[in-house]
């Protein structure tokens, strides 16, 4: 029987044949693809001809094409629709793939061919993109340990393999904790909750077969419950469970994994000649150094903390007015903040939510992309990996640009959070290959027959992830290694955070924010109140984020802490963390940092990008038109289509003419006047 993962895919747009793929197909497909990739690497490394850009760098680009295709399917399914078989496969694949990566980067003959090209680079008549790829390829090999010898090389290989195992284990532990916990709600416990919160709890109960409404640890369920439940005891139970993910003892506890991960990262950095993992990691980012990151975060921390402390005083007065003595607690903040928002801005999420239908917000994201970049979206009828997933063909002037998949609803088999990924990336080396992009979110699934309603934060998340998708869809480079979102970590969030701004454009809301029952557009006064409250509670939001970013950074500076939880507590005390605010991501569930290397020492990157996104949207505002064609053209040319074909600061400067300062960020968050 043939393995569908290894065959040509006779499907619409060569989508993976999801209906034909079985979990048993993955292991033999990965083994076969690894064998194919290893053979290709050997041919490159052992070639008798002198190295050339074509027979070495371009050949490397093509060497693992089949492996990338197979893993593109597997890892997308493992994150968005996991099951025990896929989790077992992920644990088996992690060290195997890390070993393969080490084999390549520590292949001395291969590195010698790359180094020969690097030394002769000025004589090779390379295009700018080719020169960039050569530079990045050599840098990647050096940073992976290609120049190490003997015992140091072997130790680095072992460290990387162990880190891959730990990252997988961390992710699976977190998924297990999130899937296993729920809090049943009696009918009396639903009193005081808006209809959409009750509906989300009932739908979560249906999805889990609980026989009644439940609160789960999905952000789309637990956050509204914390905002609206008048039952302080239930809020405390829910918040404690949410904050304890990964720290419940037993087989799913992540604290020892975090400690070992930090120690191995420090060892990895020192083997490569760096003083700390933060210094190693940040060398290739826009920030460049841990000191630059610390400077940015502290410039934002002080005004954010001042704003949060002032808000805490007001919320504490409300708590005491309810007859509750004592301090404001983390499970109180969202509840009293929601009440205060309604009092200050006459804005009630229960009034707002019916105007934020999921389908209409998807249409809004598509409409903005059409007005800015000329894209159109046509539904695709094809087998997909889950019944909730939808697909669209993306076109421009009749030309196929991409396939876009949307997987929007929370389920127990999906890891928490929201992300953009790709089953296939854009490139031209093997023909005009257009991407297959997926946005994965965790919105509350409605009861059968009811429309899915989003919070304002949910709608922003949808636009955010679609900004990442556009970065993939509009990519226009030759080499996959530098296509789409293959850019510096502190630059990758610019397109996504920039795209969020269009959700607040009045004509977008006027066209797409329509009531789920009546179809009427959002009233002007409600829209104005919504936009006026855009920076409400921004002290809280900024504090919980920056605290997480500072803990991440300081974890990776200097010696790794033997006890990460104790170090986390020290950092929070040093910066004066308000007692009533929890970190957005505490260490045992900080998947950005511990599920892999992606955001390690790099969680700050959302804020680094925000410095740019506030300034970038101002480029449109300065024209008087949020859809100015010339500015949109420059945005596509210099950022969205360029991938990693040049340094991030050069790309941004080409778009805007200069780099921005932190002032635009503080103004955008309403923190410019905080003490």
Element (H, E) at 97: helix 84-105
Q: Looking at per-residue confidence, does 351 or 254 come out higher?
A: 254
- CA 402, CA 386: separation in Å to the nearest integer? 20
Element (H, E) at 378: strand 375-379
Q: What would the mean pLDDT of 415-431 be, rounded to a whole number?
A: 95
* Main-chain dihedrals φ then ψ at residue 561, nearest 5 degrees: -70, 135
Confirm whether 465 is a catalytic residue.
yes
Q: 4-147 belongs to which CATH class?
A: mainly alpha
**Residue tagged 């040093």 (tokens):** 574
Contact 130, 52 (CB under 8 A): no
DSSP string, 592-631: HHHSSSTTTTTTTHHHHHHHHHHHHHHHHHTTT-TT-HHH
Return the CA Rg of the chain.
25
Whether 635 has a pLDDT exceeding 70, the answer reads yes
Q: What would the mean pLDDT of 451-479 be, rounded to a whole number?
A: 97
Q: What is the pLDDT of residues 220-251, one digit of tens each?
A: 899 999 999 999 999 999 999 999 999 999 99
- Long-range residue pairs from 503-508, CB within 8 A, at least 24 positions apart, any chain: 503/364, 503/459, 503/460, 503/463, 504/531, 504/534, 505/368, 505/626, 506/531, 507/626, 508/364, 508/367, 508/368
Q: What is the pLDDT of residue 674?
A: 60
Q: What would the mean pLDDT of 403-415 be, rounded to a whole number?
A: 95
**Residue 209 burial class via C-beta count within 10 angstroms: exposed 0-12, middle 13-18, buried 19 and up:** exposed
- CA 589, CA 177: separation in Å to the nearest integer? 10
What percent of the chain has a predicted confidence (pLDDT) above 90?
93
Whether 349 has a pLDDT exceeding 90, the answer reads no
Residues 6+ apart with CB under 8 A from 6: 29, 32, 33, 66, 70
Q: What residues does each domain of the chain span?
A: 4-147, 164-180+250-347+535-596, 182-245
Could you tell me the end-to-end alpha-carbon distance of the chain, in angstroms, rounded to an integer? Answer: 69
- CA 26, CA 20: separation in Å to the nearest integer? 12
Residue 35 tokens, joined: 């064998």
Q: What would the mean pLDDT of 436-454 be, rounded to a whole number?
A: 93
Contact 484, 438 (CB under 8 A): no
Q: What is the pLDDT of residue 672?
A: 84
DSSP 523: P
At CA 589, angle to CA 586 and CA 590, rounded to 5?
70
Q: What would the mean pLDDT of 86-94 be, rounded to a whole number?
A: 96
Nearest alpha-carbon partner for 584 in 614, 609, 607, 562: 607
Q: What is the pLDDT of residue 187?
A: 95
Of the pLDDT bands very low, low, confident and very high (cuts 50, 70, 90), residue 350 is: confident
- CA 496, CA 372: separation in Å to the nearest integer? 15
Residue 460 tokens, joined: 């922003």
State the pairing for strand pair 436-443/419-424: antiparallel
**Catalytic entry in 61, 266, 294, 465:** 465
Element (H, E) at 375: strand 375-379
Q: What is the pLDDT of residue 535?
A: 92
Of the pLDDT bands very low, low, confident and very high (cuts 50, 70, 90), residue 513 is: very high
Whether 675 has a pLDDT exceeding 70, the answer reads no
Residue 418 tokens, joined: 């929201």
Q: What is the pLDDT of residues 173-225, one digit of tens each?
A: 999 999 999 999 999 999 999 999 999 999 999 989 999 999 999 998 999 99
* Main-chain dihedrals φ then ψ at residue 289, nearest 5 degrees: -140, 155
Say if pTM beats, i.e. exceeds, 0.85.
Answer: yes
SS3 of residue 441 by DSSP: strand
Q: What is the pLDDT of residues 544-570, one digit of tens each?
A: 999 999 999 999 998 999 999 999 999
Whether 673 has a pLDDT exceeding 80, the answer reads no
- For all residues of the chain together, what is the average pLDDT? 95
Q: What is the pLDDT of residue 449?
A: 87
CA distances from 657 to 129, 619, 651 (A): 22, 10, 10
Q: What is the pLDDT of residues 126-169, one digit of tens each?
A: 999 999 999 999 999 999 999 999 999 999 999 999 999 999 99
Q: What is the pLDDT of residue 661?
A: 85
Q: In CATH, what number does 164-180+250-347+535-596 get?
A: 1.10.1370.10
SS3 of residue 146 by DSSP: coil
Q: What is the pLDDT of residues 357-376, one digit of tens each?
A: 999 999 999 999 999 999 99
- CA 624, CA 620: separation in Å to the nearest integer? 7
Q: What would the mean pLDDT of 450-479 be, rounded to a whole number?
A: 97
Q: What is the pLDDT of residue 1?
A: 66
Residue 12 tokens, joined: 């619409």
**Residue 282 burial class via C-beta count within 10 angstroms: exposed 0-12, middle 13-18, buried 19 and up:** buried
Q: What is the pLDDT of residue 182?
A: 95
Q: Looking at per-residue confidence, does 217 or 675 come out higher?
A: 217
- CA 154, CA 172: separation in Å to the nearest integer? 28
Whether 394 has a pLDDT exceeding 60, the answer reads yes
Q: Which residues pair with 215 in a beta bridge?
A: 183
Could you give the maximum distance between any two Cα atoms of the chain, in Å? Answer: 83
For residues 74, 80, 86, 91, the Cα torsion angle rounded to the nearest 10 degrees is: 80
Residue 115 tokens, joined: 């180094």
Contact 219, 226 (CB under 8 A): no
Q: What is the pLDDT of residues 22-65, one digit of tens each?
A: 999 999 999 999 999 999 999 999 999 999 999 999 999 999 99
CA distances from 614 to 116, 485, 565, 573, 650 (A): 43, 20, 34, 31, 18
Q: What is the pLDDT of residues 524-550, one digit of tens each?
A: 999 999 999 989 999 999 999 999 999
Whether 595 has a pLDDT exceeding 80, the answer reads yes
């Amino acid at each position: 029987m043939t393995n569908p993962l290894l065959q040509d895919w006779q499907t619409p747009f060569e989508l993976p044949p999801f209906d034909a793929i079985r979990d048993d197909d993955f292991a033999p497909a990965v083994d076969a693809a690894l064998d194919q990739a290893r053979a290709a690497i050997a041919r490159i490394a052992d070639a008798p001809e002198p190295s050339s850009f074509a027979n070495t760098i371009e050949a490397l680009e093509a060497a693992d094409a089949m492996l990338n295709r197979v893993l593109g399917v597997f890892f997308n399914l493992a994150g968005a629709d996991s099951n025990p078989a896929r989790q077992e496969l992920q644990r088996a694949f992690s060290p195997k793939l890390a070993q393969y990566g080490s084999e390549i980067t520590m292949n001395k003959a291969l590195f010698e061919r790359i180094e020969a090209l690097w030394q002769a680079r000025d004589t090779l008549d390379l295009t700018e993109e080719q020169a960039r790829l050569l530079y990045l390829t050599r840098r990647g090999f050096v940073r992976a340990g290609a120049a190490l010898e003997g015992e140091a090389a072997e130790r680095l290989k072992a460290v990387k393999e162990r880190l891959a195992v730990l990252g997988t284990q961390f992710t699976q532990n977190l998924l297990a904790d999130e899937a296993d916990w729920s809090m049943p709600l009696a009918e009396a416990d639903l009193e005081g909750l808006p209809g959409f919160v009750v509906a989300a709890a009932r739908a979560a109960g249906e999805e889990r077969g609980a026989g009644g409404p439940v609160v789960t640890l999905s952000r789309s369920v637990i956050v509204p419950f914390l905002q609206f439940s008048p039952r302080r005891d239930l809020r405390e139970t829910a918040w404690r469970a949410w904050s304890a993910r990964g720290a419940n003892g037993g087989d799913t506890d992540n604290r020892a994994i975090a400690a070992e991960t930090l120690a191995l990262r420090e060892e990895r950095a020192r083997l490569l000649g760096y003083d700390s993992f933060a210094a190693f990691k940040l060398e290739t980012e826009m920030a460049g150094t841990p000191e630059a990151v610390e400077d940015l975060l502290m410039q934002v921390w002080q005004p954010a903390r001042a704003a949060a402390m002032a808000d805490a005083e007001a919320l504490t007065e409300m708590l005491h007015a309810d007859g509750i003595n004592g301090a404001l607690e983390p499970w109180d903040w969202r509840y009293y903040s929601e009440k205060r928002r309604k009092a200050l801005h006459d804005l009630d999420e229960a009034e707002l939510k019916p105007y934020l239908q999921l389908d209409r917000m998807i249409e809004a994201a598509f409409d903005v992309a059409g007005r800015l970049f000329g894209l159109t979206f046509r539904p695709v009828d094809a087998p997909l990996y889950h019944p909730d997933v939808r697909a669209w063909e993306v076109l421009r002037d009749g030309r196929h640009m991409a396939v876009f998949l949307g997987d929007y609803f929370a389920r127990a088999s999906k890891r928490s959070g929201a992300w953009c990924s790709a089953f296939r990336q854009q490139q031209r080396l093997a023909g005009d290959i257009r991407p297959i992009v997926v946005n994965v979110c965790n919105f509350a699934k409605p009861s059968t027959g009811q429309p899915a309603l989003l919070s304002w934060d949910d709608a922003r998340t949808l636009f955010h992830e679609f900004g990442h998708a556009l970065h993939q869809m509009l990519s226009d480079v030759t080499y996959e290694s530098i296509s789409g979102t293959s850019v510096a970590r502190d630059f990758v969030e610019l397109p996504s955070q920039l795209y969020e701004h269009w959700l607040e454009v009045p004509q977008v809301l006027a066209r797409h924010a329509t009531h789920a029952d009546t179809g009427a557009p959002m009233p002007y006064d409600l829209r104005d109140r919504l936009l006026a409250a855009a920076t409400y509670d921004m002290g809280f939001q900024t504090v919980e984020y920056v605290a997480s970013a500072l803990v991440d950074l300081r974890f990776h500076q200097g010696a790794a802490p033997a006890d990460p939880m104790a170090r986390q507590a020290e950092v929070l005390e040093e910066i004066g963390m308000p007692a009533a605010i929890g970190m957005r991501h505490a260490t045992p569930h900080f998947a950005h940092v511990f599920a892999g290397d992606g955001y390690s020492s790099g969680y700050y990157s959302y804020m680094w990008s925000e410095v740019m996104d506030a300034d970038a949207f101002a480029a449109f505002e300065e024209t008087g038109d949020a859809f100015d064609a010339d500015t949109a053209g420059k945005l596509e040319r210099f950022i969205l289509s360029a991938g990693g074909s040049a340094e991030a600061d050069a790309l941004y400067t080409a778009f805007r003419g200069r780099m921005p300062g932190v002032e635009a960020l503080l103004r955008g968050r309403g923190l410019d006047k905080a003490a």
